[in-house]
Structure 1
Amino acid sequence: MAEKMNVESFNLDHRKVEAPYIRIADRKDLGSGVRLTKFDLRFTQPNREHLESEVVHSLEHMMAEHSRNHSDVVIDISPMGCRTGFYLLVSGDMEAQDAADLVEATLNDLVAADEVPAANEIQCGWGAHHDLDGAKREASRFLEQREDWLTVGV
């Protein structure tokens, strides 16, 4: 086994996980009672499939906007560079089941949406780089596998 690295996901054997899943990737105590929890929202199987760039961009916009309708502890939703999923960062000690409930409510909103929020040149750095239908398709696919989300396979 290689030396432990500073980035948590670099220490995860991506060959052993089974997407889709939601897992706690990290918890940080920032002092003064401030805690953060980071979740790995894995949409596709690492090294076998990935999300298209426009789909990732639209999912990011939509999850960032819609998640905040369901929780006031969401700090950020960021796409993974490998395009297999997202990181969800929240304040506090949220558990994986609670994150799954939040993601489910968020994706249900996304599937029902008629537009990608802020998909324009004023509010986005690449406003034309979106795929609403693709985002809805991938959100639906993830939702269809809800019963498997809390099983990572490692």
Structure 2
Amino acid sequence: MEKTNVESFQLDHTKVKAPFVRVAHRETLPGGDEFIKYDIRFCQPNVEHLEMPVVHSLEHSIAEHMRDHTDKLLDFSPMGCQTGFYAMTLGIEPEEFMRVLEDTLVDVVHMTEVPAANEVQCGWGASHTLEGAQAAAQKMLNHREEWDKIYSH
């Protein structure tokens, strides 16, 4: 595979088995803090994807609720391919991150509304689905024991 500047382009998407969670990047910052970026893959690449209202609602919900479980989340962003998300953290090691993610997804399953899903707080407040976000979160939770298994073989 040709070397590129983007880490995810180095991942052979034909060999992974979603859902999974993996460390996509780790770097010690100039001040000594550890930056850890996670690839949280909900869907099998090139086979399935999340619909945009589901992506949007999961982004809002997880970004909001994950901060209830840690103060080390720097950013939570969707992948353009609509198969998952990136979580940028300040030193959350994988074992702790898996617990934080699991607790956050349980919150999503039990929420009664998508956070900030309105025209005042969101650039496309009409593009949300509580039910879709909850179904995707539950599907991910149903495979909790497999999150650390990135490859199919």
TM-score by length of 2: 0.97
Measured after TM superposition, the shift of residue 53 of structure 1 is 0.2
Q: Counterpart of 1:26 in structure 2: which amino acid?
A: H
Per the alignment, residue 12 of structure 1 pairs with: 11
Q: How far apart in 2 are the matches of 1:86 and 1:96?
A: 16
Is 1:139 aligned with 2:129? no
Per the alignment, residue 48 of structure 2 pairs with: 49
Q: How far apart in 1 are the matches of 2:57 and 2:94?
A: 24
Measured after TM superposition, the shift of residue 128 of structure 1 is 0.6
Asked whether the equivalents of residues 24 and 95 of structure 1 are also in contact (C-alpha less than 8 Å), the reply is no
Name the SS of the counterpart of 2:29 in structure 1.
strand
CA RMSD of superposed structures (Å): 0.9
Q: What are the Cα deviations for residues 54-92 of structure 1, in whole angstroms up to 9, with x where unaligned?
A: 000000000000000000100111000000000011012
Measured after TM superposition, the shift of residue 30 of structure 1 is 2.2
Is 1:32 aligned with 2:31? yes
Q: How far apart in 1 are the matches of 2:147 and 2:33?
A: 27
Measured after TM superposition, the shift of residue 34 of structure 1 is 2.5
Per the alignment, residue 112 of structure 2 pairs with: 114
Gaps of 5+ in 2: none
Write the mapping of 1:124-135 to structure 2, written as runs, cut at 5 A: 124-135=122-133
Q: How far apart in 1 are the matches of 2:82 and 2:94?
A: 21
Aligned length: 152
Q: How far apart in 1 are the matches of 2:12 and 2:97?
A: 22
